[in-house]
Amino acid sequence: MIGMKTIAKTAAVITAAGALFGCDSSSEQQAAEGALPRQQTLYLSGQQWGAPATFNPLAESWMAAWPVGGRFNLVYEPLVTYNTLNGQVEALLGTLVPELSNNDSIVVDLNPAAKWSDGKQVNSNDVKFIFTNGSINTTEQISAIHVDTLKAEPAAADAPVTERISFIVAKDKRNNPLSVMDLLQAIRIVPAHVFEPLVAEKGLDEVKKLMMDKNPVVSGPYTIKDYSANKIILERRDDYWGNAALHEGKLPAPKFIVHPIYKSNEHNTIALRKGELDASMSFIPRIGDLKSAGVHTWLNDAPFFTPGAMPMLMINTMKEPLNDKRFRRALATAIDYNAIRQFALSGYTSQLQPGLIMPTNLEGKYINAEDQKVGVKLDIVDEAERLNTVKAMLSEAGYKSVFKDDGSLDHMENAKGEKIPTLFITSPAGWTDWESIVNIAVEGMRKAGIDVREGFVDGGQYWPAMGTGNFDLIMHKPTADVSPSLPWSRFNEVMSSRDWQKLGDWAGTNIGRYNQPGTKEFRPEVDKLLAEIPLMTDEAKKAEAYRELNKIFMEDQPAIPLAYLPEQYYEFSDKVWTNWPSADNAYAPAQLPWIASGTKVLWNLKLK
């Protein structure tokens, strides 16, 4: 969610963002002052917004600082990466063996050249350690990890061996090879020979509290050099194993990578415009206005970015009248999606289509245009027509809007004449793009006679409310990361009742409590389709299953998609470094060079 952090509403005078990171000084002068040479340093931002708390890869990902928490490949690496341009699984510490991977197991060969920074070989023990001791619970997806040793013929006496690792799908639990694939590109491998003795001595809980910031043993191309409350500095490892094994002996172009820690996105924007920041994943309104300053995006023109995530209003289907799908469909129809696209999101999104499948090169093949007629109308441009459509829907469902003498909305009543309490949309305060989306949604709903108000709260209230169901409607971005399991994982997070929880209990999926088992409205076909799709190998059958699942979503409207947004905003400056990937130079995905397949950018950047 940090990627959604937006420009703060402040009137404070901004000092030069380049004070610490300026590019006016010569390399010699910078070195004399203890600064990093600009021509050897890449400045990236948008992930870290506060002082780093820990660099421990065993800590929960929300605690660990960049580039350790989350899906970053610069210090600790996953087995494989996912290329969001073409949907291919690419090799890193290991190589996927597709001819041996199936619904029973996913097979990966470890690269025998992969080594830790202390010279020890990356091995299967490292893999098994993190899959059983990391912050992600894998037992629901993986029942066992089997290891075989492959020997080359003929093999030299000192030739490194290749270990073949089979991740056995937990048939008696999730039985989902798609989620296993997600784990292989999401979990970063750590050195067991470092952490196992620590765990044996102190216990796992105590080891998780260690900072792990001094000379860490890592496998990635960079290591932690220094950090403060203002920045995190990485230094290139010239002995990185992947230079020879994966990049034809080349070194990454930048010797140093710095993540400045800005107080707001306004500082971020100023630094990017001045060329003191090379790339960012922050939301910057009117990005086209920065082209003259050498700031670019994946696409030259609007929508500038490629879609990868779908923010939406999750609906608490346990509360009246939100438990009525007719009311939910009226809510969805009342929103001016064109206004959201143009004013809240600066035109960074294409026209929204009904359903839960995104019209991308990876998912679009599962969209059936004829089925979309089942969904509510999202493209009503004329406001009067849209409002009249909503009012007719409410009236047909038995709801009445009561207005004051001045014409403003007072309240709503149900078919029994009972007053309906005001509904609130919960959203984080300070995320101004989300605030704008909510404001536009509320305006449309109230004009149509639906009694809804904004409910902006701080993070301490937002996250607990989401999990426990303490909301009417809540802003959320399910499955924000593009991964091999999409669009299945998005349907699962929104609609699955496998782990259905009552209000007050924590829910990790289906936070809207849709499709409650045991009720007369329960639709067992939803969970049946969600269980079958990950095991389907026939594309025609899979497309038909997604078609049916999408129709159910459109009929029941358990959530309200609002826009298509990029997986991460991707803006770059060519004032210092050039050869950034773009739609015209698509050698890597639209990602900052710290995640997934995007890291290959580091070996392709050139000094201007």
Is residue 219 in some structural domain?
Answer: no
Residue ranges in 203-317 assigned as alpha helix (H):
204-207, 241-246, 265-274
- pLDDT tens readout for residues 448-502: 999 999 999 998 999 999 999 999 999 999 998 999 999 999 999 999 999 999 9
Q: How many domains does the chain have?
A: 3
Q: Which residues pair with residue 413 across a beta bridge?
A: 400, 419
415 in the same domain as 490:
yes
Is residue 297 in some structural domain?
Answer: yes
90 in the same domain as 35:
no
Residue ranges in 303-452 assigned as alpha helix (H):
325-334, 337-339, 383-397, 432-447
Asked whether residue 159 carries a pLDDT value surpassing 90, the answer given is no
429 in the same domain as 282:
no
Residue ranges in 137-239 assigned as alpha helix (H):
177-186, 192-202, 204-207
Percent of the chain surpassing pLDDT 90: 88
Q: Where residue 286 sits, what CATH number does that domain have?
A: 3.40.190.10
84 in the same domain as 14:
no
Sorted by sequence, the CB contacts under 8 Å of residue 511 that are 6+ apart come out as 314, 466, 467, 469, 474, 476
Do 488 and 530 form a contact (C-beta atoms < 8 A)?
yes
Residue 201 — φ and ψ, nearest 5°? -80, -45
Is residue 376 in some structural domain?
Answer: yes
243 in the same domain as 119:
no
pLDDT at position 155: 59
Picking from 168-177, 282-291, 417-426, which range would have the lowest pLDDT averaged per residue?
282-291
251 in the same domain as 143:
no
- pLDDT tens readout for residues 34-88: 589 999 999 999 999 899 999 999 998 889 999 998 899 999 999 999 999 999 9
450 in the same domain as 407:
yes
- pLDDT tens readout for residues 100-135: 999 999 999 999 999 999 999 999 999 999 999 988
Is residue 43 in some structural domain?
Answer: yes
Asked whether residue 17 carries a pLDDT value surpassing 60, the answer given is no
Q: Which residue among 152, 172, 194 closes a domain?
A: 194
Burial class (CB in 10 A: 0-12, 13-18, 19+), 427: buried
CA dihedral 213, 216, 221, 227 (to 10 degrees): 10
- Can you tell me the distance from the alpha carbon of 213 to that of 191, in angstroms, rounded to the nearest whole number? 15
421 in the same domain as 287:
no
Asked whether residue 12 carries a pLDDT value surpassing 70, the answer given is no
Is residue 57 in some structural domain?
Answer: no
Closest-CA residue to 479 (of 305, 303, 311): 311
- Can you tell me the distance from the alpha carbon of 55 to that of 498, in angstroms, rounded to the nearest whole number? 35
- pLDDT tens readout for residues 161-181: 899 999 999 999 999 999 999
Q: Which residue among 178, 194, 210 closes a domain?
A: 194
Asked whether residue 530 carries a pLDDT value surpassing 70, the answer given is yes
Q: Where residue 367 sits, what CATH number does that domain have?
A: 3.10.105.10
Is residue 212 in some structural domain?
Answer: no
Percent of the chain surpassing pLDDT 70: 93
Asked whether residue 549 carries a pLDDT value surpassing 80, the answer given is yes
Extract the tokens encoding 36: 């990093």
273 in the same domain as 400:
no
477 in the same domain as 584:
no
Extract the tokens encoding 585: 């130079």
pLDDT at position 395: 97
- pLDDT tens readout for residues 497-520: 999 999 999 999 999 999 999 999
574 in the same domain as 553:
no
Any idea which residue has 């109308």 for tokens?
377
pLDDT at position 432: 85
- pLDDT tens readout for residues 367-393: 999 999 999 999 899 999 999 999 999
Closest-CA residue to 557 (of 330, 367, 319): 330
Is residue 71 in some structural domain?
Answer: no
| Full residue range of the structural domain in which residue 410 is found | 318-561
pLDDT at position 237: 98
Average pLDDT, the chain: 92
364 confidence band (pLDDT: 50, 70, 90): very high
Q: Where residue 155 sits, what CATH number does that domain have?
A: 3.90.76.10
479 in the same domain as 418:
yes
Burial profile 277-288: b = 16 or more Cβ within 10 angstroms, e = fewer: bbbbbbbbbebe
Asked whether residue 563 carries a pLDDT value surpassing 90, the answer given is yes
8 confidence band (pLDDT: 50, 70, 90): very low
Is residue 370 in some structural domain?
Answer: yes
pLDDT at position 264: 85
Q: Which residues pair with residue 108 across a beta bridge?
A: 96, 165
